[in-house]
Amino acid sequence: MPEALPDYRVKAVNTSSDSENKIHDDATARRYGFAGGLVPGVTVYAYLTQPLAVAFGHAWVQRGTASVKFVKPVLDGEDVHVSGEVTARDPQGGITATVRATTASTGECAVLNATIPAGSPTPLNMAMYAEAPLPAERTPGTREYFDAHPVLGTFAVRYDAAVAEEYVASVSDALPLYRPSGSGAVHPAFYTHLGNRCLRANVLIGPWIHVGSVVRHLGAPRIGDALAARARVRSLWDKKGRDFVELDIAILANGKPVAHVLHSAIYRLPAPA
């Protein structure tokens, strides 16, 4: 019988209601057929990480993995139920788990498959992740642009105490693990937040949707560290009139890799009817 993870319940907050990405704006989202502005996928991902952090603490933050897909929208103010279970424990000590987010109106909204490997994570080949300047002026994000710019500009930020407190408050995470009085770890969902920032710091795009990420933790950066996200375009495709991009991102803290993120988004939606 699967081993249940701690339940978590949280009221969803649209953390990007005033973002330039108007899929988070009620009026624009309704034009595209949604009931209201979408709560960002990166925020839903933060909710999904909570049972893993409670159950496994520093081990998951330091070397865990996560593959998350967002299948239905979450709206501001909805009650989100996050539940999951350990699905396997291998003889070497590795753990596999599944976590899901559900709401009363839509049922299952997002699914996260996680592991905590028994051994150390495989390091990144940093020769594949060049540092590049952000564009002085952003231009529209099109397939032609991404084809011509396989390496995107590096987005950097210092995750100081003020940034940390603002971030964990925005995703309603009260765990001491992410505060200076506790372990002072960088919240793992901040890596996917950096994935979004890589996209919007490099190009201008209309309403767009984060659809999923694959994350590997390679270390445990702390509050005060300087974070940088070096992104390259891994793949481009279209499906049902929607244009997708997948970014391959190395996250560095003080110059050392601490996470690897494959970040997928619909960067062009069909025009609303």
74 backbone dihedrals φ, ψ, rounded to 5°? -110, 135
Q: Residue 102 sits in a domain of what CATH number?
A: 3.10.129.10
pLDDT tens digits, 66-115: 999 999 999 999 999 999 999 999 988 899 999 999 999 999 999 999 99
Question: What's the whole-model pTM score?
Answer: 0.96
Q: How far is CA 9 from the centre of its chain?
A: 19
In angstroms, rounded to a whole number, what is the distance separating the alpha carbons of residues 88 and 156?
A: 37
Residue 80, in any domain of the structure: yes
Strand ranges, E, within the chain: 3-4, 8-11, 65-70, 79-89, 95-103, 107-116, 139-140, 155-158, 203-204, 209-217, 226-239, 242-253, 256-268
pLDDT tens digits, 52-67: 999 999 999 999 999 9
Residue 273, in any domain of the structure: no
In angstroms, rounded to a whole number, what is the distance separating the alpha carbons of residues 108 and 73?
A: 10
Q: Which residues pair with 217 in a beta bridge?
A: 259
Query: In this structure, are residues 66 and 114 in contact, taking their beta carbons and an 8 Å threshold?
Result: yes
Strands 95-103 and 8-11: unpaired
Alpha-carbon separation of residue 163 from 59, 134, 226, 251 (angstroms): 23, 21, 11, 17
> How many residues are recorded in the chain?
273
In angstroms, rounded to a whole number, what is the distance separating the alpha carbons of residues 44 and 81?
A: 11
What letter would DSSP give residue 205? -
Instruction: For residue 214, give the amino acid letter.
Output: V
Query: In this structure, are residues 35 and 203 in contact, taking their beta carbons and an 8 Å threshold?
Result: no
Question: For residue 183, what pLDDT is reported?
Answer: 87
In angstroms, rounded to a whole number, what is the distance separating the alpha carbons of residues 127 and 198?
A: 19
What is the tally of structural domains in the chain? 1
Question: For residue 19, what pLDDT is reported?
Answer: 85
Where helices occur in the chain by DSSP H, the ranges are 26-31, 41-56, 58-63, 143-148, 161-170, 189-202
Question: For residue 1, what pLDDT is reported?
Answer: 67
pLDDT tens digits, 175-188: 999 999 888 999 99
Residue 167, in any domain of the structure: yes
In angstroms, rounded to a whole number, what is the distance separating the alpha carbons of residues 216 and 5?
A: 20
**Number of CB atoms found within 10 A of residue 196's CB:** 23
Query: In this structure, are residues 212 and 44 in contact, taking their beta carbons and an 8 Å threshold?
Result: no
In which domain, by residue range, is 204 found? 3-118+126-268
**Number of CB atoms found within 10 A of residue 235's CB:** 12
Cβ burial, residue 54 (10 Å; 0-12/13-18/19+): middle
Per-residue pLDDT tens digits of the chain, which is 273 residues long: 679 999 999 999 999 988 899 899 999 999 999 999 999 999 999 999 999 999 999 999 999 999 999 999 999 999 999 999 999 999 888 999 999 999 999 999 999 999 999 988 899 999 999 999 999 999 999 999 999 999 999 999 999 999 999 999 999 999 999 999 888 999 999 999 999 999 999 999 999 999 999 999 999 999 999 999 999 999 999 999 999 999 999 999 999 999 999 999 999 999 887
Instruction: For residue 159, give the amino acid letter.
Output: Y
